[in-house]
Amino acid sequence: MTRVIAVAFHEHGQLHHLAVDGVDVHLGDWVLYPTDDGDEVARCVWGPQDVRLDEPLPTCPGLASPTQLDAAAAARQRRSEVTELVKKRIAAHGLDMQVLAVDLVEGDAPHVAVYYRTAHRVDFRALVPDLARALASRVDLRQVTGRDPARLVGGVGLCGHQLCCSTFLNEVEPISIRLANQQGHGSNPMAVTGLCGHLMCCLRYESPYYDDFTATAEQIAQQEQDRSADQLGCPLRPVCGKAAGRP
């Protein structure tokens, strides 16, 4: 078993997991996360738990020092200021663009990455050099489509929890309406549509539970000489482990 924590670089951000060995970490602590460009400051949002791992995780180098916390706070302030400047320049150019996030990329080739979405094709040829002059840095504009806007911004789903895509879900497998029908939600689009406007991610990774329970219910139906699991009563309730008409 390995002692594991989950950290996030910003509020509602993607979760990243770290192994903790010899570091006394508590929920809410600011810790260091190892990256190719050096250690980054992140907040512990999931306290230490013993987990059996299939693959090794990066190890937490330790708690963030006061100097590192000050540097991280300054970087957040700088990112906020750059975001406001970008929004103002976009408005000045009269462009229909919504800024979702801004990254200040350090390293050998420092630049500013602006993530945006738009419903129409945008001509930003005049905007890019304007931003480059104002920020004294190279600027990359990156359009975000599909499910990614919700992942970047974050939010709360119908279940009352933070969005899967903005926290723990790293990859989204193809999702079809067949999965919604299988889980009894096909007749209610609002029940299966996420904040991104697409079918909810949880339909995919909850599907195996429905498959397993349906197979079990069919076996019970056959044992009772019913034609199918549907004759047990009304809808199956795999999450509860029940079929209507049975305890």
Average pLDDT, the chain: 84
pLDDT reading at 236 higher than 60? no
* Fold observed for domain 69-143: GMP Synthetase; Chain A, domain 3 (3.30.300)
pLDDT digits (tens, 9 = 90+) for 81-139: 999 999 999 999 999 999 999 988 776 677 899 999 998 888 989 999 999 999 988 99
For residue 184, what pLDDT is reported? 76
Q: Break the chain into its structural domains and give their ranges.
A: 2-63, 69-143, 207-243
In the chain, what percentage of residues exceed pLDDT 90? Answer: 38
pTM of model > 0.95: no
HEC letters along 124-170: CCCHHHHHHHHHCCEEEEEECCCCHHHHHHCCECCCCCECCCCCCCC
Give the integer Cα–Cα distance in Å for 45 and 8: 7
Contact present, 79 and 56 (Cβ < 8 Å): no
Please give the pLDDT value at position 247: 46
Neighbours of 85 (CB within 10 A): 15
Strands (E) across the chain are located at 2-8, 16-19, 30-35, 38-51, 98-105, 111-117, 138-143, 236-237, 242-243
Q: What is the pLDDT of residues 60-87, one digit of tens each?
A: 999 999 999 999 999 899 999 999 999 9
The pLDDT of residue 212 is 80
Give the per-residue pLDDT at 179. Answer: 83
Give 74-83's long-range contacts (Cβ < 8 A, gap of 24+). Answer: 75/104, 76/10, 78/104, 79/103, 79/104, 82/112, 82/135
